[in-house]
Structure formats: C-alpha cells, structure tokens
Amino acid sequence: MKPKAYLETTIVSYLTARPSRDLITAANQQMTHAWWEDHRGQFALYVSQFVIEEASAGDPDAATRRLAVLADLPPLDVTDVVQQLAHALLTHVPLPANAQVDALHIAVATVHGMDYRCAVPQAMNRRPFVPRKNSWRLSIMTRDPIVDEVRQFRDAYAKRFQYDLEAICRDIRAKQTQSGRNVVSLPPRPVQAPLVPTGKPAA
C-alpha cells in the first residue's frame, strides 16, 4: 500500500507558478517539479476543500493552472472531528496568531491518517515533505514570495469570518457539498504504544 500524503497549496503553487528570478524560490520550484515528475507516483495524494479554496484565489490564470493540478486529487472530508482537533491545536499548541486554517490543514491530515503533510520543499532531503503528521513543529524558512502569497490567500479567507473556527468550517463544508466532488474519509493511522523499559511493568 502506498503511503498517504496530504498536498498543501504551496506545492501546487510551486508547480504552476512562472519561473522565479529569486534564487531560493527558483530552487524550491525545481525541487518540487523534480519530485512531482519522479516520485509522486509512489504516494497516494490527497487534498482538502481548504486547498481548493486557496488555489482558487488570486490571479485568475494562475488559479486555473493550480486547479488543473488539483482536479484529479480526492479531497478529504472536513468532519466535526477535524474541527475539534483544530480547536485543540489552537488551544494547546504554540501556533502563530490567527492560525485557524493552518490548524485545520494539520487536523485534516491527522484525522484522515496521512503519513505525510506535503507543504514546502526541504533542501536537506530533496523531498517536499514536512515531518510525519504527529510532529507539529513549524518549519523555519527564508521568506519566499510563493509561500507569502499562499499565506495571504489563507489569511484573507479566515478574515472573512473574523477568524472564527466554527464559521470557517461551516463555509468550507458548504463548499464541499456545492463542488460535487467525491469527498473521502479515511481511518486514522494506528497509534503505536510506547515501549516499556525492561524490568519495569506497564502501568
């Protein structure tokens, strides 16, 4: 069975944006194109209505190119459990201010058992993956105009609802229904029990 990867909007933007003159952005584009051509077939790729919403924003021609990449990728359902986990993340994890949609991206990938959340190219391992889904550490990276644009789309969407998590989820579920696309629900990955040190009984 192929490992499952959640594709975020940044990857779609790297794939479809015109070649950048910025060296770091150009390198990220090249890495993303190389992975897309050579390795994407090794993974089962998924998106969500949040990715589709962000990909639809901005310049109409650029949005059309992004949506074409997403056309055949199944969207994961934004369930009540996704909303609950996003709320827990916002409450207990040191995410940036107004990170409601960031938390929802993480929650969608986690609830549906993704093995990877595919966000930005990582120069160290040449694969556009952040750590496994149970690692919520934020990546530190140089400013990148493509990432900045996606973050602007994300913030503008959340701002329409005064950053209210419930209102955001209500809107995105309505858009899921209106889209007519088949929404996918997958079981979570099994959680491995921690190893018990030798000689110490389990509690």
| pTM, full prediction | 0.84
Within a domain: 157: yes
Residue 191: pLDDT over 60: no
Within a domain: 190: no
Within a domain: 141: yes
Nearest residue to 153 (alpha-carbon basis) of 68, 53, 70: 53
Within a domain: 44: yes
For residue 25, the one-letter residue type is: T
The residues, any chain, with a CB within 8 Å of residue 48's CB and separated by 6 or more, are 6, 75, 76, 78, 104, 105, 108
Each residue of 151-173: pLDDT tens digit?
999 999 999 999 999 999 999 99
Counting the structural domains of the chain, the total is 1
**Burial status of residue 126 (CB atoms within 10 A of its CB: 0-12, 13-18, 19 or more):** exposed
CA–CA distance, 43 with 63 (Å, rounded to integer): 24
Each residue of 109-156: pLDDT tens digit?
999 999 989 887 653 344 444 444 443 333 444 678 999 999 999 999
For residue 60, the one-letter residue type is: P
| Token code pair at residue 63 | 């949005």
Each residue of 168-188: pLDDT tens digit?
999 999 999 999 999 999 988
CA–CA distance, 99 with 127 (Å, rounded to integer): 25
Within a domain: 200: no
Within a domain: 160: yes
Within a domain: 186: no
> In the prediction, which pLDDT does 133 show?
44
Q: 69: domain CATH number?
A: 3.40.50.1010
| C-beta of residue 189 within 8 angstroms of C-beta of residue 113 | yes
Residue-range definition of the domain harbouring residue 162? 4-179
Within a domain: 203: no
